[in-house]
Each structure stands twice: as structure tokens, then as C-alpha cells.
Structure 1
Amino acid sequence: MGAAGSKLEKALGDQFPEGERYFGLENFGNTCYCNSVLQALYFCVPFREQLLEYYSSNKSTGDAEENLLTCLADLFTQISSQKKKTGVIAPKRFVQRLKKQNELFRSYMHQDAHEFLNFLLNELVDILEKEAQAAKSDQETSPPEKMVNGPKNAQANGSHKDPLVTWVHKNFQGILTNETRCLRCETVTARDETFFDLSLDIEQNSSITSCLKNFSSTETLNAEDKFFCDKCCSLQEAQKRMKIKKPPHILVIHLKRFKYIEQLGRYKKLSYRVVFPLELKLSNTVEDAESEYSLFAVVVHVGSGPNHGHYVSLVKSHNHWLFFDDENVEMIDESAVQTFFGSAQEYSSNTDHGYILFYESLGTSNKS
């Protein structure tokens, strides 16, 4: 990467961001699904900063058991503390830990980047929740003289109303509300659910905005799909829709590019052209207040099918766009992002399509 690294440094010149590091990641035989997602997460600045903070505050304990969180924190610390500005790092410990943790990722087969992202975020949350639980029980079993605020804390901690909110939740978690309106008595039943990413169905020559509108569109429940209304105490026709109740700080959008085709008996890749804007306005929220987001990373699937291919990522860092392809890192023009929207025709030589999009809320990032 020496030549490529120095080329990148020359391209940025005096504009090379202070303290930033642009490192490619070595591929250990089909681990591009992992590398592309890790680059997107590394350039998710609030997440990176909290992970590095976690690493430095837990480093002192020394006896921390190795897990996926410590391996990720170690990798990000390794990148951020490099003396050189560019180069290549081998995420060996992280990949070994991932394979040990989940047999799905043990084979050398083509893996799904979205499945990996989902598994990773949920695993990090599990680890942080267990650590918080352990810390809480340690506190509760401490000698009375050390528990100055004991009873007050015990009372607050004892109420199980609010689930623990970790810094992973603070970055990625949003809340959806599933509203069902009985068409006989007009009663609305709402059920909330949390999400780390939104998986959107896609159509040819569409946009993220239209995909989000479809996601929140009203569906009528009738015939054999009638809804049991508690007020009417019977099955009734109803209208159902999904809305975003609380948008996340980091909005992750997964485009459902792999569809099971029954006639073929297998999954097929949809190479549809789906336009994703650099600035996104999220208007279909419960409060009907617009949330503004800025695109900072795209995980791209390269290839014509779901069982083979390659993943790369595009990342925005300090107003520059970079292209990460395993060990190689290069600068690209902002206009090049458009080439990853997809293909307007079904058969096209271009197989590089945006698959996972990472947007950061402008409102919250300005405040922080």
C-alpha cells in the first residue's frame, strides 16, 4: 500500500485532516463484508469516540476478558494511534474472535455485510448490558459503609421500567410505532418497537425518499387479514401503518437488494437504480417534524448475485470522500457517489450498487 498511501497523502496535501488516519484493512479470504462495515463504523465519529473512550477507561482493569467489543476497541485504537497517516492494518484478532463467536462467519463463503452489521451491534449491546449488570451487582454487594448513596441508587436501579441505554443505543437506536386503526370504532392501537437499521424494499428507478414513503404507507387489513379490535371485541377491517416515532442519531438504511424468487428457487440480486441523496430529509415521523441527515458512508455490493461478489465502502471524512477496498484506500470525487445508485436497465455491466447507507443527524451533530 506504500505507493497508494503516499498517493493519498499527496492528493490531500495540506488538507490532510489533523489527527485523522486512513488505513486499509487486510482481507483474510473473503472478509471484505467485515472490512467494509468496519470502515463505515470507524468513520461514524460519535461511535468511534465512545468506543475509544471505552477502551481507555477499561484498559486499566487489565484483566478484562476478550470479547468482540474489546477486539473492536483494540482495532480502532490501533488505527487511531498510528504514527503514519496511511497504511494497512490486519484486523486479525477481531476476525478470529468473530469466527469463534459465530459459526456463520467461519466459512470462506461469501457473507452478507448487513447480517454482520446486525450481529455486531447486537453483540456489543449484549456485552455492555452484561457489564452494567455485573457492575450493579458488585455495587449492591459492597460493604454498607462504602454505599453512601446506597438506598437511593438501589431504588432507582431497582425499578425495571427503563431498559439500559448503552452508547450503542444512543447512536443507532430509533423507535418505530405500528399504528392500527379500527375502521368500525376508529380506535387506534399503537405498538412501539426499536430498531438499529431500517430494511427497505426497493423498486426500479426509485429513491430513498420514495422507499421510506412506501415503508410508512397505509395498508388495509380485510378479508382473512382482519384485525381483532379489543374495543369491538371482534375481527374488524382496519388500517395499519408504520411510522418513525423517534429517529436515531445515526440512521442506517439497508436496501433489500437480495430477493427470493420462487420460480428460480434461489435468491436474485436486484440491481435497481435507487437514488440516495447526500442530504436526506426524514418527514414521515410521528411528530411530522423534519429530521435532516447527512450521508457519511455507503457499503457497496459488487457482483451480479448474492452468493458471490465483493464489498467495498465509500466514506466521507472531513468533507472528502474516500474509497476503501480492503487494503486499498483512495480519494474519490463527491460526484462519483452517484455511480453506486444502481442500474437503470436490468442487464448492465455496472454491478457496484449501494447496499447499506449510513446517515448522521445534522440536528444532533451540531449540538454535540
Structure 2
Amino acid sequence: MGATGSKLEKALGDQFPEGERYFGLENFGNTCYCNSVLQALYFCVPFREQLLEYYGNNKSIGDPEENLLTCLADLFSQISSQKKKTGVIAPKRFVQRLKKQNELFRSYMHQDAHEFLNFLLNELVDILEKEAQAAKTDPDTSPPSEKVANGFKNGHVNGGQKEPLVTWVHKNFQREYSPTRQDACNSETATARDETFFRLEP
């Protein structure tokens, strides 16, 4: 990769983006689906910046409990803090945590990248929501990441109804659409409702 990396740097020359890092991820037999998603997420700059902010806030209070969010944040921090502009990193800790957490990813069979992306985004949201709930219960002992980096709407009461919690993962990847349903071909009765879904930004 060293020779390849230097070729890439020479090819880009002065056009190499300031502060950017281009690192491949080592494949552990069948983890190309995982690596593809991690690479795409790393180059989604708003997501990366918020994840690194989360990482910095958590580091300031010591070692947080390990989960997929902390492992992903640690991996992104490793990449962004490299002195070299190109190279290879082994996402070993992240993959180990993924396999420990979900048996679907323990086998040596190839997995679907889109299914993995959906699993990962939903898992990150679950972790942030639990942290936000813990921050509400005991705000004095919650780490700064729960107050600052989550960027959530904190369930304010609006007409007696709480707004749903919106994390920075939602803000980057959740979209809404309003499918219209008609009961019969000639029926004038049509219903529509907003539905949410996760997807990568174009």
C-alpha cells in the first residue's frame, strides 16, 4: 500500500484536500461489506465531524463503556489523526465488537452492505437515545457528549405531546416521505401519512 499510497499522493499533487486522509481498511476474510459502509460513512463529512466531537467529549471523562458507537468513533479518530495521508488501517476492534453484538455477522458468509448499514445506524441511534435518557435522569453526572454532541431535541412538551428524540445520526441520515394510499381505483378517498427511513446522503 505504501507504493500505491505514494502514487495517489503524486497523482493528486496540490489538489490533495487539506487535512483529508485516504486509508483503506484491512479485510478480515469476509468484511468487505463492513469496510465499504465504514468508508462511505467516513467520507460523509458532517457525520464524521459529529462522531469525532462525540469521541473528544467522551475522552475528556475517561474511558467510556465500549459499544459500537465508541468503537466507530475510535476508528475514525485513528484515521483522521494519522500523520500520513494514505495507508491501511485494520478495523479490528470495531469488527470484534460487531461480531460480539450480533451473531449474524459472526459467520464467514458474505453479508449485505445495506442491511449492515441499517443495523449500524439503528444501533448508533439506540446508544445515543439511552445516553440522552441517562442524561435526563442524572444530568449532573452525564458526560459532555450527552449534552453537547448528541444534538437532540430533548423531548419538549408541545401541546401536551413530546417531540421524538432527534440525534445527530437522524439529522444526517433520516428522511421523510408521504406515500398516498387510495382505497379503490375510482375512489376519491385517499390517505397520506409521513413515514421516516434511514438512507445515505447522495
TM-based fold match above 0.5: yes
How far apart, CA to CA, are the structure 2 residues paired with 1:61 and 1:51?
16
CA deviations over 1:280-302 (Å, ceiling 9, x no partner): xxxxxxxxxxxxxxxxxxxxxxx
93-102 or 59-68, larger mean C-alpha shift? 59-68
Structure of higher CA gyration radius = 1
How far apart, CA to CA, are the structure 2 residues paired with 1:178 and 1:18?
43
CA deviations over 1:111-163 (Å, ceiling 9, x no partner): 11111111000000000000000001113999xxxxxxxxxxx9936965311
Q: How does 1:341-360 map to 2 (within 5 A)?
A: 358-359=201-202
**What is the SS of the residue equivalent to 1:118?**
helix
How far apart, CA to CA, are the structure 2 residues paired with 1:71 and 1:155?
28
How far apart, CA to CA, are the structure 2 residues paired with 1:54 and 1:119?
20
TM-aligned CA deviation for residue 186 of structure 1:
2.2
Pair 1:172 & 2:199 matched: no
Partner of 2:150: none
| Structure 2 residue runs without a partner (length 5+) | 143-153
**What is the SS of the residue equivalent to 2:95?**
helix
* C-alpha spacing 1:45/1:187, structure 2 compared with 1 (3 Å): same
| Structure 1 residue runs without a partner (length 5+) | 143-153, 198-251, 253-357, 360-368
Conserved 8 A contact 2:155-2:163: no
CA deviations over 1:223-263 (Å, ceiling 9, x no partner): xxxxxxxxxxxxxxxxxxxxxxxxxxxxx3xxxxxxxxxxx
Tell me which amino acid in the other structure corresponds to 1:179.
Answer: T
How far apart, CA to CA, are the structure 2 residues paired with 1:55 and 1:13?
31
Tell me which amino acid in the other structure corresponds to 1:194.
Answer: T
Partner of 1:212: none
How far apart, CA to CA, are the structure 2 residues paired with 1:160 and 1:141?
27
Conserved 8 A contact 2:155-2:162: no
Structure with the higher fraction of residues in strand conformation: 1
Partner of 1:125: 125
Partner of 2:24: 24
Partner of 1:112: 112
* C-alpha spacing 1:73/1:188, structure 2 compared with 1 (3 Å): same
* C-alpha spacing 1:99/1:130, structure 2 compared with 1 (3 Å): same
Q: How does 1:177-188 map to 2 (within 5 A)?
A: 177-182=178-183, 186-188=188-190
CA deviations over 1:260-314 (Å, ceiling 9, x no partner): xxxxxxxxxxxxxxxxxxxxxxxxxxxxxxxxxxxxxxxxxxxxxxxxxxxxxxx
Partner of 1:9: 9
Partner of 2:147: none
How far apart, CA to CA, are the structure 2 residues paired with 1:156 and 1:85?
44
Pair 1:44 & 2:44 matched: yes
How far apart, CA to CA, are the structure 1 residues paired with 2:97 and 2:63?
17
* C-alpha spacing 1:108/1:182, structure 2 compared with 1 (3 Å): closer
Partner of 1:54: 54
How far apart, CA to CA, are the structure 1 residues paired with 2:134 and 2:155?
17
Partner of 2:73: 73
Structure 1 stretches of at least 4 aligned residues deviating more than 4 Å after TM superposition: 157-160, 182-185
How far apart, CA to CA, are the structure 1 residues paired with 2:77 and 2:38?
13
Partner of 2:194: 192
How far apart, CA to CA, are the structure 2 residues paired with 1:36 and 1:141?
37
Tell me which amino acid in the other structure corresponds to 1:97.
Answer: R
TM-aligned CA deviation for residue 16 of structure 1:
1.3
* C-alpha spacing 1:132/1:13, structure 2 compared with 1 (3 Å): same
The size of the alignment, in residue pairs, is: 189
Partner of 1:90: 90
How far apart, CA to CA, are the structure 1 residues paired with 2:23 and 2:106?
25
Q: How does 1:1-368 map to 2 (within 5 A)?
A: 1-139=1-139, 156=156, 160-182=161-183, 186-197=188-199, 252=200, 358-359=201-202
Partner of 1:331: none
**What is the SS of the residue equivalent to 1:139?**
coil
* C-alpha spacing 1:160/1:125, structure 2 compared with 1 (3 Å): farther
TM-aligned CA deviation for residue 110 of structure 1:
1.0
* C-alpha spacing 1:54/1:9, structure 2 compared with 1 (3 Å): same
**What is the SS of the residue equivalent to 1:47?**
helix
TM-aligned CA deviation for residue 85 of structure 1:
0.7
**What is the SS of the residue equivalent to 1:195?**
strand
TM-aligned CA deviation for residue 185 of structure 1:
6.2
Tell me which amino acid in the other structure corresponds to 1:124.
Answer: L
81-90 or 59-68, larger mean C-alpha shift? 59-68
**What is the SS of the residue equivalent to 2:65?**
coil
* C-alpha spacing 1:191/1:23, structure 2 compared with 1 (3 Å): same
